[in-house]
Structure 1
């Protein structure tokens, strides 16, 4: 018999951290295309949000590994709700008529420049995040059962390769097609995918430590042997 979520000491904290990273990376960094010049590779173009968004996938891996697919599913839906609220709030704030003075008129222009594309960004984020996160969690859970809990590094990297492929492929096309040139869109999408999955590899030692800590403190190491993987079933 599964224990109720309230009995876990750290589950709620991981959920809050996941939603925070998701919101910030999608609304603050997603619209900015940045460049860095690297040895051998030359100039590399990437979305600024890539520096932080992969952390949400690490949280997803940790949640599925420790608490199981069902509880990660609840966190994914919490992130979904947060993104929808952010979109509604941005639309309302932009629609309000600003006070007719120099500061507020100028500030309104800056808000529109930053958040004017929010509906496309959030639509892309919701679809890509929802699809990619569930693919990531599903693959992670299935691999854990198949591998009998061994080779955590293979499961975290393998699930991220699948989830990020879906996420990156959907998000940039939905959010920026017609805004960026096709060449820039392709370059950013490919670079994002490589960087996101690269983050997972680099962060593997940290993931191991976090997973070990939570398993020990929560006395939990969930195997999804009889799990209903329907993404629309909120009960864990």
Structure 2
């Protein structure tokens, strides 16, 4: 079956969106030190009576790309296009975690458990379970926050698009991200760490959520050139007139 260019474009965008969302969930178990990664002195933040260095989940490397893909899909395929890939991504994330848990409970081969002992991993089964066996509170918090954030993003994006017309792409992209990630940043931590077994206090919750939100907004601003670059690539691929017609039809 021969796909038309818009169909191929949507397929590529949807695939890239989903793989980034799924990967962000799985690599998010690692917490990295931003200052040490960049080779700079630790930045000692102090918020709501809490202090520390800048530590983030590795998933933050990919979520800004998900934001850009959300806005691009919204530009050319509208709210229905974004909602479909958002639900698809949630389904794939849950599917991935289901089989990760199934793999954890497979009986390991005796020789495999200690195969990396010389590399400092005496029990590979325990390491595998620790990496892929994220707590249910964390999984549900992340999935619920992601879905709510996506639905908020598409709604805010459309409202700004109607108010500004086809211009000011940066405004609707940044504005929708600002609102959706405010929701996402607080919901995921509230479910995972306040309601969850760790029982964070509200001072710690607000401090970490605020810091994560600030990071996401800086990343979103840094992604604006990428947003424009992708739009130019789409116009080149589809042809300017076709791209403009899709853009108009998506929001009429």
Give the TM-score of the pair, scaled to structure 2. 0.78
Q: Determine the structure 1 residue equivalent to 2:74.
A: 64
Higher relative contact order (CA 8 A, sep 6+): 1
The alpha carbon displacement at 1:199 in A equals 1.1
The reply to whether residue 85 of structure 1 matches residue 90 of structure 2 is no
The alpha carbon displacement at 1:156 in A equals 0.5
Q: Structure 2 matches for 1:1-236, cutoff 5 A?
A: 7-28=6-27, 30-37=28-35, 41-42=43-44, 43-101=53-111, 102-103=113-114, 106-177=123-194, 178-179=197-198, 182=201, 185-218=205-238, 219=242, 220-222=246-248, 225=251
Separation in structure 2 between the aligned mates of residue 6 and residue 76 of structure 1, nearest angstrom: 22
Larger C-alpha radius of gyration, 1 or 2? 2
Separation in structure 1 between the aligned mates of residue 199 and residue 4 of structure 2, nearest angstrom: 43
Separation in structure 2 between the aligned mates of residue 210 and residue 189 of structure 1, nearest angstrom: 30
Q: In the alignment, is the contact (CA less than 8 A) between 1:66 and 1:211 conserved in 2?
A: no
Q: In the alignment, is the contact (CA less than 8 A) between 1:120 and 1:175 conserved in 2?
A: yes
When the two structures are aligned, how many residues end up with a matched partner? 222
Structure 2 spans left out of the alignment, 5+ residues = 45-52, 116-121
- CA 1:54 to 1:118, structure 2 compared with 1: closer, same or farther past 3 Å? farther
The alpha carbon displacement at 1:5 in A equals 8.1
Separation in structure 2 between the aligned mates of residue 111 and residue 24 of structure 1, nearest angstrom: 16
3-state SS of 1:20 partner = helix
Separation in structure 2 between the aligned mates of residue 93 and residue 118 of structure 1, nearest angstrom: 15
Structure 1 spans left out of the alignment, 5+ residues = 227-236
Give a deviation string over 1:15-45, Cα, whole Å, max 9, x none.
11111111111111x2233223356944322
Separation in structure 2 between the aligned mates of residue 184 and residue 48 of structure 1, nearest angstrom: 20
Separation in structure 2 between the aligned mates of residue 81 and residue 157 of structure 1, nearest angstrom: 27
Q: In the alignment, is the contact (CA less than 8 A) between 1:87 and 1:118 conserved in 2?
A: no
- CA 1:208 to 1:88, structure 2 compared with 1: closer, same or farther past 3 Å? same
Which structure's residues are more often helix, by fraction? 2
The alpha carbon displacement at 1:97 in A equals 2.4
- CA 1:179 to 1:34, structure 2 compared with 1: closer, same or farther past 3 Å? farther
RMSD: 2.6
Q: Determine the structure 1 residue equivalent to 2:48.
A: none
Give the TM-score of the pair, scaled to structure 1. 0.83
Q: In the alignment, is the contact (CA less than 8 A) between 2:83 and 2:151 conserved in 1?
A: yes
Q: Determine the structure 2 residue equivalent to 1:233.
A: none
